[in-house]
Amino acid sequence: MSVNQIIQFLVVADECRSPEEVVVELEKLLRVYRFDYYGLLRHPKPHENPMKLVLVGRWPDRWPETYIAKKFVLIDPTIRYLAQAQKGFRWRDTIAAFRNDPHRKRMERMMGESIRFGLEDGYIFPIHGRQGLLGNMTLGGKPVDLSPVEMSLFDAVAKKAFWRLLELKKDTEELDAAASVDTKMTRREMEVLNYLADGMTSNEISRVLQISNHTVDWYMNGIQDKLNAKNRQHVVALALRLGLIT
């Protein structure tokens, strides 16, 4: 284990006076652990250009373009798992969580293609704020085995690097504003939301809850307003990202 190097980064990051200095110290730590590739990313807002989400990173040649062109973000098991994760996890462990998913084959093909680019395995560490998921740190390349202690410390590294970069770039206010979504749902709204995520129609939900279609739609409109969603599909997508449903 190289725990001392992790602790050193956590201390030194506060002394950095520019984003470039933070990146130098972070990459120094990642070299010790032999991570070939990494990224610190903000969580996307609706219609946002994915290339603008990266605070800093290094990826295999042509991988970001391939990932975007093939729309892997829609089925990437690591990203889908990220929506419900409260701590860091390993890439290869996420496929098992979607064993019955209709997109399982596409997920496996995506993971196979990432291996051909040199992304054999890796880790993702979610970064949460007051209102939910704000970003993540992704580490990858050849397989690296982290102990439970190192996993916990890298969670701290992710948060420290993310917030320190935003502070030095003076972006923290914009990020907090982007995360200002009202996620406080009533018990009935959560019931409707979960049934919606299961693919049920208003008629089906009204029969299960023994309320009228009009009342179901009233709850649905309230949920849509709280999440600033454009439609019901967008409601489900945002609820997954914010960890309201799994």
Residue 179 pLDDT greater than 60, yes or no: no
pTM of the entire structure? Answer: 0.71
pLDDT in tens, 103-157: 899 999 999 999 999 999 999 999 987 667 889 999 999 999 999 999 999 999 9
Q: What is the mean pLDDT of residues 32-61?
A: 82
**Contact at 8 Å (CB) between 174 and 168?**
no
Task: Give the model's pLDDT for residue 46.
Answer: 47
Contacts of 111 by beta carbon, 8 Å cutoff, 6+ apart: 77, 91, 92, 95
Mean pLDDT of the chain, nearest integer = 87
**Contact at 8 Å (CB) between 242 and 128?**
no
The domain segmentation of the chain, as residue ranges, is 3-178, 187-241
**Contact at 8 Å (CB) between 191 and 209?**
yes
Q: How many angstroms separate the CA atoms of 164 and 207, rounded?
A: 51
Q: 169-175, long-range: CB within 8 Å, 24+ apart, which pairs?
A: 169/19, 169/55, 175/42, 175/129, 175/134
Which of the four pLDDT bands, split at 50, 70 and 90, describes residue 186? Answer: confident
Task: Give the model's pLDDT for residue 229.
Answer: 82
Evaluated on CA atoms 186, 181, 52, 153, the torsion sign reads negative
pLDDT in tens, 86-96: 899 999 999 98
* Same-fold call for 3-178 versus 187-241: no
**Contact at 8 Å (CB) between 54 and 75?**
no
Residue 162 pLDDT greater than 60, yes or no: yes
Fold classification of 187-241 is: Arc Repressor Mutant, subunit A (1.10.10)
Q: What is the mean pLDDT of residues 205-230?
A: 89
Farthest CA pair distance, the chain: 61
> In this predicted model, which residue has the larger pLDDT, 167 or 228?
167
Residue 64 pLDDT greater than 50, yes or no: yes
Bridge partners, 56 (sequence order): 40
Q: Which of left, alpha, beta for 243 (phi over 0: left; psi -120 to 50: alpha)?
A: left
Single-letter residue type at 33: Y
Q: How many angstroms separate the CA atoms of 191 and 123, rounded?
A: 33
**Contact at 8 Å (CB) between 58 and 24?**
no
Element of type H or E holding 4: helix 3-12
Task: Give the model's pLDDT for residue 144.
Answer: 96
Q: What is the mean pLDDT of residues 209-222?
A: 90
Q: How many percent of the chain have pLDDT more than 70?
A: 89
**Contact at 8 Å (CB) between 134 and 96?**
no
> In this predicted model, which residue has the larger pLDDT, 200 or 49?
200
| Domain 3-178 in this protein, CATH class | alpha beta
Q: How many angstroms separate the CA atoms of 30 and 58, rounded?
A: 11
Q: How many angstroms separate the CA atoms of 122 and 69, rounded?
A: 22
Task: Give the model's pLDDT for residue 128.
Answer: 83
